[in-house]
Amino acid sequence: MGKPDSFLELKNVSQVYTVGERQFTAIEDFSLTLKEGEFCALLGPSGCGKSTLLRIITGLQAPTGGKVLYRSRPLTGVNPHAAMVFQTFALFPWLTVQENVELALEARGLPARVRNDRALEILDRVGLDGFETAYPRELSGGMRQKVGFARAIAVEPELLCLDEPFSSLDILSAETLRRELLELWTGGRLPTRAILMVTHSIEEAVFMADRIVVMDKDPGRLMTDFKVGLAHPRDRKDRGFEAVVDNVYSLLAGQTEPEHVELGAEPAAPGPTRRLPNVHISDLSGLLEHLESARDHQDDIYALAEDLKMNSDHLLNLIQAAELLGFATVWKGDIRLTPLGETFAATGIIGRKEIFAVRLQRLSFFKWLASILRASEKSRQRWDVIEAALGLEFHPAEARQQLERIVEWGRYAELLSYDDKSRVIYLEPATESPP
């Protein structure tokens, strides 16, 4: 099998994007060694660069800094020993199941007879025997993704890369496909030497992978790297499984920082700017109400995810929002309402709006926006002007998302108004003077 440590190496990899005259760092100084026989999960919040790393590893994208070594040799161009399975099925609807699989083999220059035999053998292996002549429209989501897996492994890649392959499936289909893939992998029935899977689901990572690499964002970087240490098959109700999941939740949730750190700096000011978590007020209110009904107004974050049937990425965003607004604190994997959070959860609509307005005006992001509006004629400014100003701090897509979020929060608090027809943001009269 070769030298285990020389299979795949990323050394101090960075990815910087240039937009106009601005540079944005997506990944910074990331290093990773993948050994043969490993099933490794890349785990982290949305926007931390997980999918970008997969593209770099497969050679679909070159890093702007650092090195990628495959079997001790620098990777240049597309990696011929790697295959990718995407979250969208990426099948050609005009081709049959077998033709979709054979397409990957044809690209490798294999003769028709070999393509036919191998495609049929792989389809049988993944449980699609009998569906060779079916078209993608005839298949369920889970079966279409099986075709995606079959197409990837048909070329017998040494490295199989999975980019959130179950995220587009319903719960039952995803669970079935996870178990079937694990059965093939642990049973030695996959023609691959290692698997690298990107996911934002903590449970999925612990259920499937033997090793988990946790990433942080802004920019994307390595937070921790550890072995799961649980034998397959894994039981989600096993105490050992729950302990690992709880530990990862604790790691990603972190702990509440002092107020000046939580609030961050205003955009374009010295120091890190605290990004607004991408959550809606209704979801945040629901979280606070749930905690208000819990014993001592607190809960274990992993238990909370189970109770709310919520994916980890969304829950962690809600927790960050609750921390940012001073409604909750986090410590050692537990979240607890502050007295203000308790008051918010227990009061009515008008009271909630008043509390939210007071807390929102403390945020550096809101202070920045309010100062721009106050300096504008009639305390109004066009959306595109504000978005362009945020583009000096954030990547354009994130600048738009950040502006959408602060405007939504400001409208809820009755501090901001927005006219969609004219695309103008303006301060409500009560907000026109600094608090």
With bands split at pLDDT 50, 70 and 90, how would you rate the model's confidence at 226?
very high
Question: Which pLDDT belongs to residue 96?
Answer: 92
Rg, Å, the chain Cα set: 24
Is the pLDDT assigned to residue 385 strictly greater than 90? Answer: yes
Alpha carbon separation from 84 to 62, 75, 161, 290, 350 (Å, rounded) = 16, 16, 5, 40, 51
Mean of pLDDT over the chain: 88
Could you give all domains of the chain from N- to C-terminal order, each with its CATH number?
A: 4-251 (3.40.50.300), 277-358 (1.10.10.10), 363-431 (1.10.10)
Residue 2: pLDDT above 50?
Answer: no
Residue 3 has pLDDT above 50, yes or no: no
> In angstroms, rounded to a whole number, what is the distance separating the alpha carbons of residues 208 and 359?
41
Please tell me the predicted confidence (pLDDT) of residue 323: 92
pLDDT digits (tens, 9 = 90+) for 91-118: 888 999 999 988 888 877 888 888 898 8
**Cα torsion angle, 392, 394, 399, 402, sign:** negative
CA angle 56, 57, 59 (to 5 degrees): 65
Residue 135 has pLDDT above 70, yes or no: yes
Q: Which of 181, 183, 103 is nearest to 146 (CA)?
A: 181
Q: Is the pLDDT of residue 67 over 70?
A: yes
Q: What is the pLDDT of residue 406?
A: 94
Share of the chain above pLDDT 90, in %: 48
Whether the Cβ atoms of residue 24 and residue 218 lie closer than 8 Å to each other: no
399 within 8 A of 393, measured Cβ to Cβ: yes
Is residue 390 exposed (0-12), middle (13-18) or buried (19+ Cβ within 10 Å)? buried
Identify the H or E element spanning 199.
strand 194-199
Percent of the chain with pLDDT over 70: 96
Residue 218: pLDDT band by 50, 70, 90 thresholds?
Answer: confident
* pLDDT number for residue 170: 80
When pLDDT is averaged across residues 266-291 and rounded to a whole number, the result is: 87
d(CA 138, CA 381): 51
Distance CA 136, CA 163 (A): 20
pTM comes to: 0.83
Residue 276 pLDDT greater than 80, yes or no: yes
pLDDT in tens, 297-309: 999 999 888 888 8
pLDDT the model gives residue 430: 65
Q: How confident is the model at residue 24 (pLDDT cuts 50, 70, 90)?
A: confident
So what's the pLDDT on residue 6? 63
Name beta bridge partners: 11. Answer: 67
Residue 382 in this model has a pLDDT that exceeds 90: yes
